[in-house]
Amino acid sequence: MISCFFVSDIHGQLDRYHRLIAEIYKDPPTIVFIGGDILPHPLSYAGNTSCDSFIRGFLMPQFIKLRILLKDKYPQVLIILGNDDGKVDEDCIVEGEKRGLWNYINSKMTHCAGFDIYGYCYVPPTPFMLKDWERYDVSRYVSPGAISPEEGFRTVEVLDYEAKFATIKEDLENLTEDRDLSRAVFLFHAPPHETNLDRIASDGKFIDFVPLDKHVGSIAVKKLIEERQPHLTLHGHIHESAAITGSWQDRIGRTPCFTAAHDGPELAIIKFDLESPDGAVRELL
């Protein structure tokens, strides 16, 4: 058995982090997956200020203390950022990796417990202004109500070409190449399009007489799952989806897909055996 915890979209909430740390200490898993939007609200980035004091002053000490307590039972912690996390803070996250607290796996593949684990932060265009972790999806189309990656603001400058033409589709092709994904696990921030995991509360809402999309997940992510059938995919980003659809999981072909995003005050934590993820359970703490 390869016991795993999966959380996402904690958004710098101290009480949720304390619950996560306590749960890891009580029943240490082999792997902890943390699926992005881990830092305080992006309004913190006004004027390009960072959340380094949160990372160095709270997040790192919490995991250092946990590592001291658990010793050789300390889990492998795999982490990505999300669209509400500024890229300016990536260096602090890498610093935590260098200290052995976690592995930061954005746009990388790492081997863990006999599986290939891929991480990917980017999401399709949103209505929000922070664009560090947004990409066009499969084309330069932008859904009604969303703002293109070329607008808004960034905490780290990128080349004009990247802002205008980079796509999630191309990123995933470059990340996975022609590898066999049957023993692959993906830690995405974006959910797959038109599933239980990407539904927003947009019923009856319009922009310039055009109805807003109800599903805002990534087409590129869904097509990768459909065509390559990885072992498991993990997602976040859309907090209300599970409440609207009644499910925090879905299946695309043979691939189970889970979301740990949650719109309530609790910490949503998904627990599963990596070898047999169909038996996964979600707990609200």
Q: What percent of the chain has pLDDT over 70?
A: 96
The torsion angle over the Cα atoms of residues 257, 261, 264 and 265, rounded to 10 degrees, is 130
Return the pLDDT at 150.
95
- Over 80: is that where the pLDDT of 44 sits? no
Q: What is the pLDDT at residue 202?
A: 75
Q: Which of 12-16, 140-144, 217-221 has the lowest mean pLDDT?
A: 140-144
Q: What is the spatial distance between Cα 5 and Cα 188, in angstroms, rounded to a whole number?
A: 15
Residue 47 has pLDDT above 60, yes or no: no
Higher pLDDT, 50 or 115: 115
How sure is the predictor about 207, in pLDDT bands with cuts at 50, 70 and 90? confident
The band of 42, judged by pLDDT with boundaries at 50, 70 and 90, is low
Element (H, E) at 283: strand 276-284
Please work out, in degrees rounded to the nearest 5, the angle formed at the alpha carbon of residue 10 by the alpha carbons of 57 and 140.
Answer: 115
Residue 60 has pLDDT above 90, yes or no: yes
Distances in Å between the Cα of 141 and the Cα atoms of 137, 149, 219, 264 are 8, 11, 12, 32
Q: Which residue has the higher pLDDT, 144 or 240?
A: 240
**pLDDT: which is higher, 269 or 152:** 269
pLDDT digits over 134-185, tens only? Answer: 999 999 999 988 999 999 999 999 999 999 999 999 999 999 999 999 999 9
Q: Which residues contact 26 (CB under 8 A, 6 or more apart)?
A: none
**Rounded Cα–Cα distance for residues 257 and 248 (Å):** 9
For the chain, the domain total comes to: 1
Nearest CA to 78 out of 114, 42, 106 is that of 106
Taking the C-alpha atoms of residue 232 and residue 221, their distance in angstroms, rounded to an integer, is: 13
Residue 221, CB-side half-sphere exposure with 13 Å CA sphere? 31
Structure tokens at 115: 């599986």
Average of per-residue pLDDT values in the chain: 94
Cα–Cα distance, 135 to 23 (Å, whole number): 34
Amino acid 205: pLDDT: 76
CATH of the domain at 183: 3.60.21.10
Backbone angles phi, psi at 39, to 5 degrees: -105, 170
CB atoms within 10 A of CB 149: 26
- On whether the CB atoms of residues 166 and 97 are closer than 8 A, the answer is no
Residues 6+ apart with CB under 8 A from 161: none
Per-residue confidence (pLDDT) for residue 218, from 0 to 100? 98
- Determine the Cα–Cα distance for residues 171 and 136; give it in Å rounded to an integer: 11
Residue 108 has pLDDT above 90, yes or no: yes
Could you tell me the residue range of the domain that residue 247 belongs to? 3-284
